[in-house]
Amino acid sequence: MSQSQDLVLSIKGLTTNFYTYEGVVKALDGIELSLKRGDTMGVVGETGCGKSVTAKCVLRLIEPPGRIDGGQILFYDRDPKTGETQETDIVQLTPLEMLSIRGNRIAIVFQDPATYPNPVFRIGAQIAEVVTLHQDLGREALEVRIKELEESLKNSPSPEHQAKIREQIEHYVSMLENPPKPDRKYARKAAWAKAVDMLRLVRMPSPDQIANQYPHELSGGMRQRALIAMALACNPSILICDEATTALDVTVQAQVLNLLNILKKEIGASILIITHDLGVVAETCNSVTVMYAGTTVESAGTKQLFENPVHPYTIGLLTAIPKLHENKERLDQIPGTVPNLINPPTGCRFHPRCAFATDICVSDRPSLEEVLPGHYVACHHPQGNL
Amino acid sequence: MKLRDFILRRVLLAIPVIFGVLTITWFLSYVVGDPLAMFITERTNPAAIPGIIQDHGFNEPLVIQYFLYLRTLLAGDWGVSYSTGGDLPVLTVIARKFPATIELAIVAMVFAVILGVPLGILSATRKDKPIDHFTRVFSLAGVSMPIFWFALLLKYVLFYQFSVWGLPYLPSGDRVDNELWKTVLHNGVGYDFTSSITGFVLVDSLLYGQPILFGDAVLHLIMPGFCLGYLTLAIITRMMRSSMLEVMKEDYITLARSKGLTERIVIYRHALRNALIPTVTVIGLAFGGLMSGAVLTETIFNWPGLGRWATQAILVSDMAAINGFVLLVAFIFVSANLIVDLTYGALDPRIRYG
Amino acid sequence: MSDSRVLLSIENLKKYFPLTGGVFRKVIGMVHAVDDVTLDIYRGETIGVVGESGCGKTTLGRTILRLLDATAGKITFMGRDITHVKGSDLRAIRREMQIVFQDPMASLDPRVTIKNSVGEPLLINGVARGPRMRAMVLDLLQKVGLTEDHLNRFPHEFSGGQRQRICIARTLALNPKFVVMDEPTSSTDVSVQAQTLNLMKDLQDEFGLTYMFISHNLSVVKHMSDRLAVMYLGKIVELTPEDIFRKPLHPYTFALVSAVPVPDPRFSGRAVILSGEVPSPINPPTGCRFHPRCIFAQEICSSEEPLLRDMGDGHLVACHFAGELDFGRSAQMEYARAAEAEAS
């Protein structure tokens, strides 16, 4: 599609099936998706379109009976120090190799803040866990130790004692250049401090206190912030938000979306926002991919897509939602229901619900074509202004 | 602060339960039954009976009798058990029999927990694999096999057949091999539970400084301990398996995986603690059951514990003993429930506020 | 009150839930779920109730239907005080007032066929049975767009949207006058939601129904309603027959409206970011309940509770400064500053 240099994620022909007793659920059938570095892309579609499955594929979190049966998920990770970009096909990684990417280079925030944090661990511990897992805390642990010594220097009774402490401080400062593997106690403290920092980053009031609380003691909005903090703790290249604001109230959602917009500038991660809410896309994303029944149907810049939707499904989706700023007696509705993916429609999967469908739509699967610069659509009869 | 309230509330709630039990036992033995039976034996002089009635207030109105009963109980007078030989006070008998039961219960519980929890986890994380099938059959056998049959089977193989085959075999019953103890201790009585230090053979043998006696005690505990623990083991395994399967479907497990944690840590750090919460109930209540004595196991292995004593007491209508036993069991279950509740609070931070 | 256009009227309705705590489970507080709500609902209209979770909108709906007993206040339905009716009188009233819940799967018995599920109210109330019931059920199903061969199927054989239509059919079986819709489309997809909403409008015309439409989704409520009530912490803060989104008068309504993500990039980034969270309904703030989060708040707002005032054309607002506030770009900036200050 575009130059691979400025891409951070490129999904090509991704196919995922779920082997259930009722039959094979063809959840993803040749998904195409490209995320540019620094971009925020919305992935929209209705229940069962495969948007969440795609997210789980990117993290290789598909559990049996599900299986990735084909395609590539190319991840271009850039080393923050050297600036070199490395291409990895996530589909080909071993489970062990995947562990160092998951939660570290690619992180995810899930939908329901009520059920995703582990109820029996403190918020701070849950964030610190991911920090300890992926980061070598050598330097941070030394800094914690030095800080503690400086603290005790202030309360030190005798000059000899003070001299001794100073000596120790110097010793540790000299090690800062080339920090050794941290010992457990200080690594734990450093991870905790990092967790508190992350809570501060997501604009949590009194982060020290919050870190010591259990999930049930926080409101939904606060918990979702904590989960965002957890996801960002290792400075990931890609942050995936899987319906991250769906379960929140409108004003809380506005707070969280606003936070994401601010953080976008601060953290430099590329963001994939998975949602069914076109409003959320318009508020936060600069490009959109529309999915339907396990296929990519349209992909374009946000403005372009909202102003000039080309795929009949996208058009239907945009006109079916009631809007605040217009009065309409009746809503346009897309007839029928989302197809069963065990026996999906032949050809274009949208054809049974499409007003423009012809014979070719029943027999041939349309491929994703660039109809306008940067505007891709998979349709035999594209609408809109072309 | 909140935790203190929680504990206090749970302890206070136990009080009415204990009172309820006291009242029901009193009602059954004093109102429905004949309380005199507790204080007379075949050897009691008939002429003394009016005196006994007078002394214990059995001619008073029921309400007064109830308070008299409570007063004597609280004063530590639980009547005399004549079925033990030597007409001992009930509390004394309990003090002698209870350690045997506790010791057996602990061993059984250790068997059950140490094997049951990991088996349950293994079975859940390898669902529908051979180990899971094996565990399911194993635990199904545990819950469905009659305990007396299993005990006899164990004895037949591990004691009788092994000795026939000339293999090292396990003792067929009793807490200790008394001949061995006599020889080692040179005291002419062997293990004397009336004057033992703690009443726990495992502890006493070590206190005597005799590893060989400790070994003997262990050998005697293996068969009854496993036999008694097998049922609990089976229940724990099944409970652990199902709650583990439930927990592994939870969203926070997906989150833990998405952090890049290894499956091992996901299971043992994130899932286990949550899955233990329902299992703890089962463990606590089963322990209560074990502590109140196991009639069949104790009888088959000739174990001088509470269960066998209670059976004896029932057979010869030793009312004071039965009464004492019922009260003790009630106390044990109330405490087991209390401990379960407190463990809940420790495992699940949400409960303290519930 | 003798206005014949009024179908249902609520006066000073309160619903408090006791909160217990401590060693002896004493009542240590009250959750003020619905606190002094007065509202007239006219025949044939749809009154929308919107607000965030915990604002009391669901409790309000259930208290009106007598599914919960009011703590104080009066509910008048068709000229009759129903606040305390019991037994067969209550059952008679329930035939006239129905509710559609959010989760259709949870409100249909999975082991009962659609015919029996929808026919149950007819049977219980002795309206019809046997072939007559079947005919009536079929008629209802056809009205909601289902067919004869759906009659003997079970709930799991239907999609979410179809199930919700089945629930609507059951609701209509007894020919009610008043239906509370409690988040009826919150668990359905966009394309199905449009179908359900259109159907509900059609049925309203056909059966002459009066709706109370409860939802957290402003766009949906606005689309459905003739008048709209905005609730915050147990109180109605604004009630208007106008397009609330063009002319919000209460600062909370303004914030709420602006926070809705607009599916149009041209209008994006206009959300007002409120600071903090909704306070606890156990100890609601004094005076105006919104004052701790309101950038326009003055001294009077924390001391005196504003009452609903008519700002013309039946547009009621409970704000001391209604009509005097400027919700321009500057207000949005002011809110953003307040939120940022609170966070750091």
Q: At C27, list the tokens.
A: 């009542």
The residue of chain A nearest to residue C256, with distances taken between CA atoms, is A251
Which pLDDT score, from 0 to 100, does residue C344 have? 61
Residues of A in contact with C220 (CB under 8 A): 322
CA of A129 vs chain C CAs: smallest distance (Å): 25
Question: In Å, how far from its chain's centre is CA C330?
Answer: 32
| Residue B136 half-sphere exposure toward CB, CA atoms < 13 A | 12
Specify the amino acid at residue A164: K
**Interval B134-185: pLDDT, tens:** 999 999 998 898 888 998 999 998 888 888 888 888 888 888 887 888 888 7
Q: What is the DSSP letter of A28?
A: E
Whether residue C219 and residue A323 make contact (CB cut-off 8 A), yes or no, is yes
Phi, psi of C272 (to 5 degrees): -85, 130
- Residue in this structure with the two tokens 């409100």, named with its chain if needed: C107
Residues of A in contact with C223 (CB under 8 A): 322, 328, 331
**Interval A128-147: pLDDT, tens:** 999 999 988 888 888 888 88
Phi, psi of B38 (to 5 degrees): -75, -20
**Interval C127-152: pLDDT, tens:** 888 899 999 999 999 988 888 888 89
| Residues with Cβ within 8 Å of residue A76, at least 6 apart in sequence | A4, A7, A8, A9, A10, A37, A85, A86, A87, A88
Whether residue C194 and residue A320 make contact (CB cut-off 8 A), yes or no, is yes
CATH 3.40.50.300 fits A1-119+239-308+338-351+359-370, yes or no: yes
Residue among C53, C273, C278 whose CB faces A258 most closely: C273
Whether residue A46 and residue C258 make contact (CB cut-off 8 A), yes or no, is no
Q: Residues of B numbered 121-160 whose beta carbons fall under 8 angstroms of chain A's beta carbons: which are they?
A: none
CA of A112 vs chain B CAs: smallest distance (Å): 9
Which pLDDT score, from 0 to 100, does residue B2 have? 66
Q: CA-to-CA distance for B70 and A371, rounded, in angstroms?
A: 92
Q: CA-to-CA distance for C54 and C296, rounded, in angstroms?
A: 24
Could you report the predicted ipTM of this complex, rounded to two decimals?
A: 0.87
Determine if the peptide bond prior to A65 is cis (ω within 30°): yes
The domain spans of chain A are 1-119+239-308+338-351+359-370, 121-213
**Interval B115-131: pLDDT, tens:** 999 999 999 999 889 99
pTM of the model: 0.85
C49 has which bridge partners?
C214, C229
The residue of chain A nearest to residue B277, with distances taken between CA atoms, is A120
Interface mutation vs chain A, best among B243, B255, B274, most A CBs within 10 Å: B255
Q: What is the DSSP letter of C261?
A: P
The residue of chain C nearest to residue B6, with distances taken between CA atoms, is C23
| Residues with Cβ within 8 Å of residue A376, at least 6 apart in sequence | A1, A32, A296, A298, A299, A300, A368, A369, A370
Q: CA-to-CA distance for A7 and A36, rounded, in angstroms?
A: 4
Say if residue B60 is exposed, middle or buried (CB neighbours under 10 Å; 0-12, 13-18, 19+): middle
The arithmetic mean of pLDDT across residues B260-279, rounded, is 92
User: Are the CB atoms for A270 and A106 separated by under 8 Å?
Assistant: no
Cβ–Cβ contact A134 with B under 8 A: yes
Helix (H, G, I), strand (E, B) or coil at C7: strand
CA of A352 vs chain B CAs: smallest distance (Å): 35
Q: What is the residue-averaged pLDDT of chain B?
A: 85
Is it the case that residue B353 has pLDDT exceeding 60?
no
**Interval B55-86: pLDDT, tens:** 777 788 888 888 888 888 888 888 778 777 67
Residues of C in contact with A203 (CB under 8 A): 340, 343-344
Q: At B26, list the tokens.
A: 């009193």
CA of B9 vs chain C CAs: smallest distance (Å): 5
Residues of B in contact with C28 (CB under 8 A): none
Residue among A317, A322, A338 whose CB faces C219 most closely: A322
Cβ–Cβ contact B270 with A under 8 A: yes
Which pLDDT score, from 0 to 100, does residue A1 have? 41
Q: Are strands C97-100 and C46-50 parallel, antiparallel or unpaired?
A: unpaired
Q: CA-to-CA distance for C119 and C109, rounded, in angstroms?
A: 13
Over chain A (386 residues), the average pLDDT of each successive run of 10 is 69 94 91 92 89 93 90 87 84 92 92 89 94 88 86 81 85 84 87 93 88 90 91 92 87 88 85 91 92 94 92 90 76 82 91 91 92 92 86
Q: Are strands A238-242 and A106-109 parallel, antiparallel or unpaired?
A: parallel
Cβ–Cβ contact C193 with A under 8 A: yes
Please name each of the domains of chain B with its CATH number: 89-146+228-347 (1.10.3720.10)
Cβ–Cβ contact C202 with A under 8 A: no
- Cα distances (angstroms) measured from residue B9 to each of B277, B278, B336: 20, 21, 16
Q: CA-to-CA distance for B328 and B98, rounded, in angstroms?
A: 10
Cβ–Cβ contact C23 with B under 8 A: yes
Q: CA-to-CA distance for B223 and C153, rounded, in angstroms?
A: 57
Cβ–Cβ contact C22 with B under 8 A: yes
Could you tell me which of A283, A253, A339, A252 has the C-alpha nearest to residue A42? Answer: A283
Chain B residues with at least one Cβ partner in C under 8 Å: 5, 8-9, 12
**Interval B298-342: pLDDT, tens:** 888 888 888 888 888 888 877 788 888 888 888 888 888 888 888
CA of A233 vs chain C CAs: smallest distance (Å): 19
Residues of C in contact with B12 (CB under 8 A): 23
Q: CA-to-CA distance for B329 and C7, rounded, in angstroms?
A: 63
- Residue in this structure with the two tokens 């008629």, named with its chain if needed: C139
| Residues with Cβ within 8 Å of residue C327, at least 6 apart in sequence | C248, C251, C254
Cβ–Cβ contact B274 with A under 8 A: yes
Cβ–Cβ contact A324 with C under 8 A: yes
Could you tell me which of B272, B280, B267 has the C-alpha nearest to residue B126? Answer: B267
Q: CA-to-CA distance for A31 and A378, rounded, in angstroms?
A: 11
CA of A338 vs chain C CAs: smallest distance (Å): 9
Q: CA-to-CA distance for C110 and C117, rounded, in angstroms?
A: 10
Q: CA-to-CA distance for C220 and C102, rounded, in angstroms?
A: 14
Q: In chain C, which stretches have pLDDT less than 70? A: 1-2, 342-344
User: Measured in Å, how far apart are chain A's first and last C-alpha atoms?
Assistant: 19
Helix (H, G, I), strand (E, B) or coil at A296: strand
Could you tell me which of C181, C143, C161, C190 has the C-alpha nearest to residue C50? Answer: C181
